[in-house]
Amino acid sequence: MGFIPFEMERWQSTHEHRVRYNLSESGVHPLTVGELLSFDGGPGDLLPLRLGYSQSNGTDELRALIASLHPGASDRSVVVTTGGAEANFVAFWELAGAGGPAAVMLPNYMQVPGLIRNLGGAFKPFRLREEAGWRPDLDQLAAGLADGAGFILVTNPNNPTGVALTPAEMDDIVSLADRHGAWILADEVYRGAEVGDDPVASFWGRYDKVLVTNSLSKAYGLPGLRLGWVVGPDEIVERLWARTDYTTIAPSSVSDALATVALSPGVRPAILARTRRIIRRNLRALAEWVETQDGLFGFTPPDAGAICMVRYRASAASAELAERLRAEHGVLVVPGSHFGVEGAIRIGFGLPAEELAQALEELGSFFATADSA
């Protein structure tokens, strides 16, 4: 069987550091090491840190901090990974071992669906209905579970739309999972980056067959640490830890130390407050810009994360337009086709305000004449 590339990540990995304006990123403008340590009251002193192998499932202190964010969890309920990508991978690897297809929310971050396809598996889609504001089609989910799906994949808040499930929708998903004995794999990487005042609810604690993945990349503005985690039942997490022996073996000791600072009680709220300030300010700017574009664009406002799926008024395919936009204007967006949604692009709006304004100006200029080229 041939290899199926991860389209979005290939696109970003190839181009994101070679454009003037990166609107493909789904997090906020990253913190520097100095900015992170300043939240802790000073520059800190990492110089004595010995660069050996760190505790391979994450240091006890870091796992305890992560567990404290999940009521009822302990440090044994947590395995620390090299980024959210490894967290998703080992969780999928564990759940796929039971056999059968997965029930996959679409559109979605396509890592796990891509892994399923590359390994010769199948999945049963349940779609977010755009016409209803990206609400889930739970009848499709019920059909997929009745057809043998062994686990449900959700990204909540969603990537690429930024829309979050309601607590009632989450309860319905849990009820369906429980009825069929299915697991839930919940990627919650955008929790903490809410637009509104109320936090997005977690699947943790709603059901006993849940694996929750997260990382410091999106809500925390620390993607360069490559630090993620899985929270789940203790005995399952023990097996996930064993699976990391085949992947990265251990997280970076420096990343573990900086993550411990980031998630400490005195620092974490300040980081998330910064993230929400950026998202709220920039989302207002994006919405105001869309209003000035004479109907060229439309979108459903996100509930969390610095991302949204934007419909455009042009006849060309999204991949073609994204390539022209990159080559001619130095602006990188993600084609909607990478998520199975044509006629749309995913815009990340977590840039510094002035940079975002310049990028949107280029975007508007391009789409105003896109059909005449």
Q: What is the pLDDT along the chain (373 residues), one digit of tens a residue?
A: 689 999 999 999 999 999 999 999 999 999 999 999 999 887 778 889 999 999 999 999 999 999 999 999 999 999 999 999 999 999 999 999 888 899 999 999 999 999 999 999 989 999 999 999 999 999 999 999 999 999 999 999 999 999 999 999 999 999 999 999 999 999 999 999 999 999 999 999 999 999 999 999 999 999 999 999 999 999 999 999 999 999 999 999 999 999 999 999 999 999 999 999 999 999 999 999 999 999 999 999 999 999 999 999 999 999 999 999 999 999 999 999 999 999 999 999 999 999 999 999 999 999 999 885 5
Could you tell me the sign of the dihedral formed by the alpha carbons of 310, 314, 315, 321, in that order? negative
Full-model pTM? 0.97
Q: Which residues pair with 105 in a beta bridge?
A: 126
Chain centroid offset of residue 287 CA: 22
Place of tokens 């929790």: 191
Measuring CA to CA, how many Å separate 31 from each of 37, 172, 187, 276?
10, 37, 23, 14
Cβ atoms of 168 and 174 closer than 8 Å: no
